[in-house]
Amino acid sequence: MKKFKTDLHIHSCLSPCGDLDMSPRRIVEKCRERGLDIIALCDHNSAENVEPAIRVGEALGIRVLPGMEINSKEEVHTLAIFGQTNQAFAMQDIVYGSLTGVNRPEFFGEQVRANEFDEVEGFNDRLLIGAVDLGLEEIVREIHRLGGLCIASHVDRPSYSLISQLGFVPPGVYLDAVEVSDPRWAGSEGRGILETLGLPVVTSSDAHFLKDIGRRVSVFFMETATVEELRLALLGKSGRSVEM
Ligand SMILES: [Zn+2]
Ligand SMILES: [Zn+2]
């Protein structure tokens, strides 16, 4: 099996809380500097910066997976990670159809659409930081219908997480994994909670600033850099595996 250093949770300047230096090009350049092989670009409720990041990734030899971090009706953050942009854009259509409100840049921050040449293409004026009018169960079902992976974000944090908002995995919600921000939590006070959840555990950076990219990585042992292989590794099937 090959070894893939992976950070599946990175925000760009499209996220209102993402630093304006987080352009698709600079993100991928930083990933190369940090020796990452696979990343997922997961902006809040939007995938509008994934295409330029994928193009830069192709030039620099980094597999960029299109994704987004969806904020459910219950205010649970969940990563939706896809192999193809058309899948991510189909999910974005569903999210946009259930997202109301207009961004207030002076309050929440700018939401910049950029191209692969580090130029501003425009601004997204939706309230991307908001919650969509879809429950977690429906979101997870749609992600899977489109062929994606769903990973509950930062379950060890006191807000916007599966544990903080719900405290358990509701019946009918089939997550592929949970993400912890701090792997030490998984081995200490979080151990019992994670055992109860019974799901694969990964860690990632949730970077909003260039300096944070790759500060947490999960290492996947698998054959190729695809979502199908990631799924097998999370399940521990066919000789694939993942470790933090
Ligand atoms: Zn989050
Ligand atoms: Zn995030």
pLDDT tens digit sequence for 188-236: 999 999 999 999 999 999 999 999 999 999 999 999 999 999 999 999 9
Q: Which domains does the chain have, with CATH numbers?
A: 2-243 (3.20.20.140)
pLDDT band at 102, cuts 50/70/90? very high
Taking the C-alpha atoms of residue 142 and residue 144, their distance in angstroms, rounded to an integer, is 5
Q: What is the pLDDT of residue 65?
A: 98
Ligand 2 centroid to Cα of residue 188, in Å, is 23
Grouping H, G, I as helix, E, B as strand and the rest as coil, residue 53 is helix
CB burial of 160-169 (b: ≥16 within 10 Å; e: otherwise) equals bbbbbebeeb
Q: What is the pLDDT of residue 230?
A: 98
Token reading at 183? 């792997």
The candidate with the shortest Cα–Cα distance to 14, out of 112, 92, 109, is 112
Q: What is the pLDDT of residue 85?
A: 98
Report the mean per-residue pLDDT for the chain: 96
Q: Which residues make up the environment of ion ligand 1, defined by Cβ < 5 Å?
A: 77, 153
pLDDT tens digit sequence for 32-85: 999 999 999 999 999 999 999 999 999 999 999 999 999 999 999 999 999 999
Grouping H, G, I as helix, E, B as strand and the rest as coil, residue 107 is helix
Ligand 1 centroid to Cα of residue 233, in Å, is 23
CB burial of 16-44 (b: ≥16 within 10 Å; e: otherwise) equals bebbeebbbbbbbbbbeebebbbbbbbbb
For the residues 9-21, what does the mean pLDDT come to?
95
Query: 124 — phi, psi (to 5°)?
Result: -90, 130
Taking the C-alpha atoms of residue 223 and residue 215, their distance in angstroms, rounded to an integer, is 24
Say which ligand is closest to the CA of 16. Answer: 2
